[in-house]
Every structure is written in structure tokens, then in C-alpha cells.
Amino acid sequence: MSAASLVISVLCWTIIACAITPVVWLFLLPYLKGLTRAERRATNLLRDMLTPEQFRQLLWRGYLEIPSPSEPRWTYRVPRTKGYVQIIEGGRAVMRLCLQPTEYLPDADVVVLHKLMIEANEEVYLQKANKYACRD
């Protein structure tokens, strides 16, 4: 085996390892952090509720994009952890929404909550949320 093919082989394995590390980390994170049983169950529910592409997006970008059921130009950007949900239109944030449960829920359950509320009844979701216009 030549030195060039050895370098290419090592490089390929390094790229593969870098690509799968975040996925493995996300699966192991609840157990490594010593999360409560509720937080582990919430993470498992989130994983079950999302498509592989949505799960990857949440992992890599830190947010989940949900297309608006009623407004084709809108996309809701739900953060993985606490924060505002943004309405994206034409690639720009046009509004921030604040809607949180009254009692503590694990972050993964809050993401599921936003996803289900937006997809089930967007009108009620928007009525309940505090709205803040985004200005440049």
C-alpha cells in the first residue's frame, strides 16, 4: 500500500468518525449527563416524533424548521433549548414568538409541544403566543 493511499484511507476514516460522532453523542448524552428518567423519555419521544432529516437538522443546527400549515411563505424555527420560536419568511426572521408551558418540561418535550401545536392548530398557537416583531 502506497503512502498516498494510506493517507487517503486515514482521511476517509477521520471524516466518517467526525460525521457520526454528533449522532452517537446525542444518543449517549442523556445517559452521560445523568439526566432524569423524564428527560431521557422526552429525548426518546422527540427522536420518535421527528423524521431522520428533522432530527439531523435539530442536532446540527440547533433548531427545527416546521413549515406553516396555513401560510406557505412561513417557516417556524423552533430552538432545541429555551428561546424564542421565530417565524421565517423569505430567509429572514419576521417575528419572534414566546409560548412556554406553565410547569417545567424537559427541553425535548417543549420542542415536541411546539411541533404538535403548530401542526394541529396553528391559529390557536398564534393566539396564545406573545409576539414580537423583528426589526433590522
pLDDT tens by residue, 78-130 = 999 889 999 999 889 999 999 988 898 889 999 999 999 999 999 999 999 99
How many other C-beta atoms lie within 10 A of the C-beta of residue 48?
Answer: 9
Question: 29: alpha, beta or left, given left = phi > 0 and alpha = psi -120 to 50?
Answer: alpha
| Residue 98, pLDDT score | 94
Kindly report the backbone phi and psi dihedral angles of residue 37, in degrees, each rounded to the nearest multiple of 5, phi listed first: -60, -40
Look up the pTM and report it.
Answer: 0.72
**pLDDT beyond 70 at 30:** no
| Residue 20, pLDDT score | 78
